[in-house]
Amino acid sequence: MRISYVNGSFIPHEQATIHIDDRGTDFADGVYEVIAYKNRKLIDLEPHFARLKNSLAFLHLAEPMNSNTLRTTINTLIGKNKIDDGLLYLRITRGVAERAHPFPSDTKTSLVMTVKEWKKPSDAEYTNGVKVITHPEIRWAWRHIKSICLLPNIMAKQKAADLNAKEAWFVEKDGTITEGSSSNVYIVKNGIVITQPESNDILGGITRKTILNLAQENNIKIDERKFTLTEAISADEAFMTSTSMGIIAVNEIDGKKIPLGTTARRLQGLYESYVNAIGELPQIN
């Protein structure tokens, strides 16, 4: 049976509900994380926790529990579900209060968590790359916060789905590509990986951080700078990263073909080894 977590209780998923006055539903007043686990071992937990702490602090949201207790609670939830390779979803909102815009003074933050099967892109998608489209950048100015306010992201992703594409890349008025609706994006030119630097303009992806570390360790050159749609369309390669997709090559942007190359392929292999090493079960002698 699928078990979820709601404010201190582990309960069957079908019964896992929140209050009608939760500020998450009224105002999207909350933050979230998606953390992958393989063989029941969480991948990059510490950086996910660091980003979560940052998101909470920025929005003046109280931590519902300390990191050690949270780690134990997450592991208990994973233990209660029969999923070896999964995605943990964690959401913290400002809690339940009569609807009014200012922060309530005496409300406890709410924490809910679910796990589900980690459905990765298909082997064919990993091998052949995927199609992306673009969407005007219509989001707010604090995109480094992993806020549950995702209306622009879902509108963009739906446009992608309608056009049979895997992802939508946000493009600013000046032509700069920021990131995907749920991924970070990269192009490769003359062997150099180019990606937006971390700032308020993008979500600092945890997969992004790991991929850039792996690139550095393996002498793949990185240039953290803005790039435009025009540059992307004439790039040697393009790819994107996220917790659920890992790293995947892009073979088409807005109908224009992008070549597949060795850089994304190499990083794919490096990332797979990295994840497998974390997810290895302990050796029993």
CA 272 to mean position of chain CA atoms: 17
Q: Is 240 in the site for ligand PDD (CB under 6 A)?
A: no
| CA pair distance 147, 29, nearest whole angstrom | 8
| CA pair distance 146, 90, nearest whole angstrom | 11
CA nearest to 137, candidates 148, 158, 153, 160: 153
Interacting residue with ligand PDD among 91, 94, 157, 208 (CB under 6 A): 208
CA nearest to 90, candidates 148, 132, 138: 148
Residue 151 CB, shortest distance to ligand PDD, in Å, is 12
The catalytic residue among 38, 41, 131, 146 is 146
What phi, psi does 112 have (nearest 5°)? -125, 150
Q: Is 179 in the site for ligand PDD (CB under 6 A)?
A: yes
Count the residues of the shown chain that bind ligand PDD, applying the rule CB under 6 A: 15
Residue 98 CB, shortest distance to ligand PDD, in Å, is 29
Q: Name which of 96 and 187 has its Cβ closer to ligand PDD.
A: 187
Residue 180 CB, shortest distance to ligand PDD, in Å, is 6
Interacting residue with ligand PDD among 59, 85, 244, 278 (CB under 6 A): 244
| CA pair distance 72, 223, nearest whole angstrom | 38
| CA pair distance 3, 10, nearest whole angstrom | 6
Q: Is 183 in the site for ligand PDD (CB under 6 A)?
A: yes
Q: Name which of 21 and 198 has its Cβ closer to ligand PDD.
A: 198
In the block, residue with structure tokens 């049979």: 164
Q: Is 146 a catalytic residue?
A: yes
Q: Is 34 in the site for ligand PDD (CB under 6 A)?
A: yes
Please state the length of the chain.
285
- Partners of 242 in beta bridges: 246
Angle between the 45-58 and 67-80 helix axes, to the nearest 10 degrees? 120
Q: Name which of 36 and 97 has its Cβ closer to ligand PDD.
A: 36
Binding mask of the shown chain, residues 143 to 172, with x at each position contacting ligand PDD by CB under 6 A: ----------x-------------------
Residue 63 CB, shortest distance to ligand PDD, in Å, is 19
Amino acid identity, residue 119?
A: K
Interacting residue with ligand PDD among 73, 93, 114, 243 (CB under 6 A): 243
Q: Which stretch binds ligand PDD (CB under 6 A): 63-71, 122-130, 240-248, 270-278?
A: 240-248
Q: Which two tokens stand for residue 174?
A: 């000046």
- Does residue 16 sit in helix, strand or coil? coil
Binding site residues, ligand PDD, CB under 6 A = 34, 153, 179, 182-184, 203, 205-208, 241-244
